[in-house]
Structure 1
């Protein structure tokens, strides 16, 4: 029976990958020499991924605008952006909302393309110094992205709120901790959109916040059917690995390692999935250097869902 299951999974993956390769074209391929299948490749080598530390990439729904974080040696995090215009991508440039004080990182465009969230240590409102790492957002209007404003209560009450992503109905998922928590003990929380208001935040269950450390950087799918995040556990491949949990009728499955196609003995973190659902993006690297990678997400998701259901 084990052989039959293995053969089925291998055949399913091969058929899926082959079908995905059939003349697949998108704006993303113009930044790369090769479309990834079952092996993760560096995304935008020499353009997006350089000799710096790049992570946390996001795309608008049309996939003709992107934002990502870059940290140069001995410098702070900064958010860069690129646009696809007249058949080609513009060069990376600093986002228009660059902070005059503090630094910005980890952008996320919501599934509707109406809000651009990001983390920042800039001072809140009219204060003269930073009070921590908070979430800000820009609204999208007909003329483009508007001036950023901070997420207020209950988010601003936390000294750290990072890597916020949004589902299609506006529910927010992010990393934070209680006052007494050390960074390695921070966890994944969420906040439910109640007719445009966010009244409370809630720590997610132990299925996601498993008995490891550095559990963080949640990417929630638009329909909330799965969540991908990173953490350091005893069953991992090295440093932080990427994990996935599936929403089964309102109950989250236990953390499932994404496997050796994605995870290595290096650090994998900050996952996101392209708006078309095809590609998984994530950071891979060491302490001071690392790149953004991408891989075909569909066969990985199919494989893990099949194993988890049997």
Structure 2
């Protein structure tokens, strides 16, 4: 997995980065999108900057995502959907370090993100450390960022190297039941964990096991489908993939989840695919793909989208 893509930028307007909140459903295209297309080409996605890891306001009219240009630190950005077009993205006021992987809660009040900024009184002693932070929506815009508690955020000890004890993305469909990924200190792979928001903190994380026969395969950037019936995540080199980073899916059962499968050839290619996401109503599926002009150098990541129905999830699990 590419360390540079392990986080996500959120794009926000400079006017306090306030989410737009309505109850209207939104179509992002007047046409059916049944094969992947670059999302908001020329505005959100450009040919000179990498963008990835998108999250939407409850109305779908504000998009938060990660943006990186060259070797600059990636930032969280925002763009608003107005009159059928996306506004020019601007850096969110709280994005002042290497920030990424935005997730906005369903009520639009809390935005979680990954950041390399140091946690007060918990200095990292490793080589590269990301943790999950949050900001709250106030009458004056976003609050000052605060780090999640140590039940979620590990901090690297002396000798630890990325991705050990790194956390950068947390997700929920109901603002109560969350999933996130980390490589617990002393383990050998990044895994998916569940936790519940309770009384201002989180319950002890529980690992989701059995998605692959071998636990050595990394699992990261995990989300639920809008209806909660599918778990979608990234892995690299896992069985059922095409090569490099691919996107995998498991179906909910009475006792947990099925074995994970590659999400299909519409998405997974010999290029790198990452950061699966859904629109709030589940109509659209989003992911990021890297395009390289030089195989020896990092390429440009863009966000792609298509209608979820084109992926035919039910057919993937018929056998």
TM-score w.r.t. length of structure 1: 0.80
SS in 2 for 1:162: coil
Q: 2:55 aligns to what SS in structure 1?
A: strand
Indicate which of 249, 256, 263 corresponds to 1:258: 263
The Cα shift of 1:255 comes to 0.3
Q: Distance in 2 between matches of 1:154 and 1:167?
A: 21
1:42 aligns with 2:38: yes
Aligned equivalents of 1:217 and 1:106: distance in 2? 9
**Distance change in 2, residues 1:125/1:209 (3 Å):** farther
Deviation at 1:144, TM superposition (A): 4.0
> Structure 2 CA distance, aligned partners of 1:117 and 1:200?
19
Q: Which residue pairs with 1:192 in the alignment?
A: 196
Distance 1:263 1:307, change over 3 A: closer
User: Cα–Cα, structure 1 residues 305 and 203, in superposed 2: closer, same or farther, change >3 Å?
Assistant: same
Shift of 1:260: 0.6
- Structure 1 stretches of 4+ with a deviation exceeding 4 A read 85-88, 126-131, 208-212
1:208 offset after TM fit, Å?
A: 5.8
Specify the alignment match of 1:59 in structure 2. 56
SS in 2 for 1:112: coil
Per-residue CA deviation, residues 260-287 of structure 1 (Å, 9 max, x unaligned), is: 1111101111111000111111110153
Distance 2:53 2:180 in 1: 13
- Bigger CA radius of gyration: 1
Give the direction of change, closer, same or farther, for the CA distance of 1:66–1:78 in structure 2 (3 Å limit). Answer: same
* Match status 1:207 vs 2:211: yes
Q: Which has the higher helix share?
A: 1
Q: 1:154 to 1:299 in 2, by over 3 A?
A: same
Unaligned ranges ≥5, structure 1: 1-24
Aligned residue for 2:43, secondary structure, equals coil
Matching of residue 292 in structure 1 with residue 299 in structure 2: no
CA contact (8 A) 2:40 2:86 kept: no
* 2:246 is aligned with 1:241: yes
CA RMSD of aligned residues (A): 2.5
Give the equivalent residue in structure 2 for 1:170. Answer: 176
TM-superposition CA deviations, 1:96-123 (whole Å, max 9, x none): 1022xx4100101122322211000112
- What does residue 279 of structure 1 align with? 284
Shift in Å, 1:81:
0.7
Q: CA deviation at 1:223?
A: 4.9
Matched, 1:96 2:93: yes
- Gaps of at least 5 residues in structure 2 are 1-24, 156-164, 292-297
Shift of 1:218: 0.2
The change in CA–CA distance for 1:296 and 1:210 in structure 2 (over 3 A counts) is farther
* Residue of structure 1 in register with 2:274 after alignment: 269
Equivalent residues in 2 for 1:130-149, closer than 5 Å: 132-149=129-146
